[in-house]
Structures are given as C-alpha cells and as structure tokens.
C-alpha cells in the first residue's frame, strides 16, 4: 500500500507533470512573471467555468476576503455576520478592517451558517453576511440571499473550500458557489481543491461596478498606471501560479469526482454506525469534499476519545486533522467581541467531536479500506 497522506499533491502533480513543467518553463522564458498574459487567460477561463462576469486574481484567499470587504465602503464599527465555526481568515479580515465580527452558529448537519441564527443577529449596524461553504458543502445560499435582500445587506461568500460546487435553487436553477452572493472569494492554497504550487486567490462578482473597483483595490487603487483614486493594496497572482492553475482547472471536475468517490467509499464503510456521523449532503449542495469530516456522537468524554482516535490513527501511519480545534468566538484575539461570555453551544459541540480523515484525489481502495477499518477498530473497541 502507498503511504497515506492527508493531501497527496505530489501524485496528483506527477499525472500532469509534463504539461505543468512546460507551462512553467514557458513563463520563465517569457520573463513575464507578473501580469503575464497567462494571468488574464486563467481569469477568463475561470470566469467561464464558474459562469461569472468578473474574476479578479489575487495573492491568496485571505486577501480576497479583505479586498472584497474593502470594496463595500464599510465603516469602522459596522457589523459583519460570520459563523464562529470556520477558519480564522474569514473572521480576521473583518477585525483587521476595524469592522465588528458578529458570530453566529452553524447547522450541525451541514457545518454551514444557520439562517435562523443570522436573522437573530441582525441589528441596525449590520452591513454584510459572510457564509462559508465549509469542507466543500454549500451554505444555504437561497435563504441567506433572501435574508440579505430583506435587510439590505451584502453577502460575501467564502468559497475557499468549495470551488466547483454547484448550488441548486428551489426552482431548479443552478449556480456555482462563489457566484451567488454580491462577491465570492476563493483560495488556491496548494491543499485546496484547485491548488497552486504556492499561494493564490481570486475574487468573483457579477456586478460590473464592483468588478472594476475590486480590481483597482487589488492593484494599489489605481485607475491607470500611477494614478491612484482609492486606497488599495498589492495583491497579485503571479504568472507561474496562473499557468499551473490554468492546467489544473481543466482537471477540476475530475478532481471533484475523485473526492466524491472517496467520500462514497467512507460513507459506505461507516453507514449506520451509532457513534459515527458521516457528512450530510443537503439536496441543494453538490458536495466537493474539500474535507471528509466525521462527527463522533453518543460517546462519553467525546473530545478525549476523539483525540485518542487521532493518536491511534497516527500510530497506524494514518494522518487526521481537527478542523478546527478552537471556534472563532473562543479565540483569544476575539475576546473583546464577546469571547467567553458568548453562548455558542453548537459550535462548541462540533469542536469537540469533529475529525477529518485523509481526503484528496489520489486515494485508492486499499488506502480507503485500511483507514476506515482502523477507525472502526478503535471506535468499536
Ligand atoms: C484557506 C481558507 C482561507 C484563506 O485562504 P489563504 O489562501 O490561505 O489565505 C479562507 N477561508 C477558508 C474557509 C479557508 O479554508
């Protein structure tokens, strides 16, 4: 059996090595390292794939979120609603811009933002909602967009974990995640579903005005070279990363299919187990399985047992991860936004019980069989 990794970007690379190597060499020969033609070509191809009007490449997913929020003319003290159960970047950029993050709960089944919790959190200061398509499962965008329209709020989708996912509306209409809200953001961090060989990110919008503005912000706020109209930043996707991403984009649907097949295997192995909840797939969400995350339930001292499972797997050379060991509202840095006094029982409940198993495009049946048998061996002990 091949060694098991949390993410196997190396095997994935070797399958497209010739094409990738040639593309990288071409950029080196061209010497157009910044803003080469390939950056625009990749952005156009990604726009076509997602069916969105504007794709603005940038340096990473965190910058994408920051630039999105800079584009909305929010003022210090304005409130931005975000799930507590997410990666730090989603929340961090809100605080960085001197806005106030307002933590809400997630649905314990989908791990994504809970619309009822959002409604309760809205005040006269609320300006935006940031749903996160966590682990590759789409957030309930139809309900979120309805709430946003009712209260005149912006919606910024954190699509870092779900690029390629499709959302199906009640009337049957389908849209890719990241193109439903006013702005969508993604990350091309190497382990993400569309991963570069370094850092990268992108911002999406169907709004022409916002498209122009976000592009300006990512480029020092300039309307033309050396003419700066607004405060911006320097956030670029370099040509080498764009060349690699342009090749990998052609394989994205196949990569998603491989992740879903691995998830199907795990689902079957754990089906019906009393103490293991496999990831829920809501009918509106085409799950792209950035992570395959189990929830342990009906077990005493579950957090300890979960950590022991992780150690047991490690002893058997099976990596696993806890995404995330501390929810946003309990992070030291956000203590002054409510911190410990905030009651977020669902986020806390999940934090104690989640464990993510190896998930990537290169898992084979031997590996999947071994991983699931070891999980069951420990839980049934
Ligand atoms: C990875 C990730 C980000 C940040 O992306 P970077 O490219 O690492 O800056 C933001 N939000 C979520 C949910 C992520 O998983």
Q: What is the pLDDT of residues 184-235, one digit of tens each?
A: 999 999 999 999 999 999 999 999 999 999 999 999 999 999 999 999 999 9
Cα 328 to ligand 1 centroid, rounded to whole Å: 14
Where in the chain are all domains bearing CATH 3.90.1150.10?
252-380
Residue 31 banded pLDDT, cuts 50, 70, 90:
very high
In angstroms, the CA 228 to CA 223 distance is 6
Determine whether the shortest distance from the Cβ of 291 to ligand 1 is under 6 A.
no
Mutation choice for ligand 1 from 138, 160, 196, 327, CB with most ligand atoms inside 8 A:
160
Domain 252-380 has CATH 3.30.460.80: no
Determine whether the shortest distance from the Cβ of 135 to ligand 1 is under 6 A.
no
**What is the average pLDDT across 278-300?**
97
CB atoms within 10 A of CB 158: 31
CB atoms within 10 A of CB 218: 27
**What is the average pLDDT across 265-292?**
98
Tell me: the pLDDT tens digits for 116-150? 999 999 999 999 999 999 999 999 999 999 999 99
Tell me: the pLDDT tens digits for 311-362? 999 999 999 999 999 999 999 999 888 766 789 999 999 999 999 999 999 9
Mutation choice for ligand 1 from 63, 86, 89, CB with most ligand atoms inside 8 A:
89
Where in the chain are all domains bearing CATH 3.40.640.10?
9-249
Cα 68 to ligand 1 centroid, rounded to whole Å: 14
**Assigned CATH topology for domain 9-249:** 3.40.640
| CA-based R_g, the chain, Å | 21
Whether the per-residue pLDDT at 45 is higher than 80: the answer is: yes
Determine whether the shortest distance from the Cβ of 189 to ligand 1 is under 6 A.
yes
Q: Are 363 and 262 in contact (CB under 8 A)?
A: yes
In angstroms, the CA 71 to CA 51 distance is 21
Write down the pLDDT at residue 51.
Answer: 98
Nearest CA to ligand 1 atom 2: 160
CA torsion angle for 178, 65, 198, 53 (degrees, to 10)? 40
Determine whether the shortest distance from the Cβ of 187 to ligand 1 is under 6 A.
yes
Residue 3 banded pLDDT, cuts 50, 70, 90:
very high
Per the listing, tokens 């030291």 go with 332
Burial class (CB in 10 A: 0-12, 13-18, 19+), 34: exposed
């Amino acid at each position: 059996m091949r060694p098991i990794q949390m993410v196997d970007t190396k095997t994935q690379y070797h399958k497209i090595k010739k094409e990738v190597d040639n593309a990288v060499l071409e950029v080196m020969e061209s010497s157009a390292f910044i803003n080469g033609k390939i950056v625009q070509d990749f952005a156009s191809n990604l726009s076509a794939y997602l069916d969105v009007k504007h794709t603005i490449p940038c340096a990473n997913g965190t910058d994408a979120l920051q630039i999105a929020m800079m584009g909305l003319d929010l003022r210090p003290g304005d409130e931005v609603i975000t799930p507590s159960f997410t990666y730090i970047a989603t929340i961090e950029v809100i605080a960085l811009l001197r806005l106030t993050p307002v933590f809400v709960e997630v649905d314990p089944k989908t791990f994504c933002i809970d619309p009822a919790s959002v409604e309760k959190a809205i005040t006269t200061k609320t300006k935006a909602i940031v749903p996160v398509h966590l682990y590759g499962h789409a957030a309930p965008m139809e309900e979120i967009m309805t709430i946003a329209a009712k209260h005149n709020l912006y919606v910024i989708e954190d699509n870092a974990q779900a690029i390629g996912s499709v959302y199906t509306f009640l009337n049957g209409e389908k849209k890719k995640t990241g193109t439903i809200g006013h702005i969508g953001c993604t990350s091309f961090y190497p382990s993400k579903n569309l991963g570069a060989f370094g850092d990268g990110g992108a911002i999406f919008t169907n709004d022409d005005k916002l498209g122009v503005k976000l592009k300006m912000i990512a480029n020092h706020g300039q309307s033309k070279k050396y003419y700066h109209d607004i405060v911006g930043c320097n956030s670029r996707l370099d040509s080498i990363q764009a060349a690699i991403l342009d090749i990998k984009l052609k394989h994205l649907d196949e990569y998603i299919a491989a992740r879903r097949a691995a998830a199907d295997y795990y689902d079957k192995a754990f089906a019906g187990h009393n103490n293991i909840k496999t990831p829920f797939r809501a009918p509106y969400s085409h799950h792209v399985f950035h992570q395959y995350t189990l929830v342990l339930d009906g077990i005493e001292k579950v957090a300890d047992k979960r950590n022991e499972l992780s150690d047991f797997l490690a002893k058997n050379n099976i990596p696993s991860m806890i995404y995330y060991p501390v929810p946003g509202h309990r992070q030291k840095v956000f203590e002054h936004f409510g911190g410990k006094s905030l009651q977020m029982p669902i986020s806390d409940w999940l934090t104690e019980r989640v464990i993510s198993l190896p998930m990537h495009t290169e898992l084979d049946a031997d590996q999947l069989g071994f991983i699931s048998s070891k999980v069951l061996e420990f839980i049934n002990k």
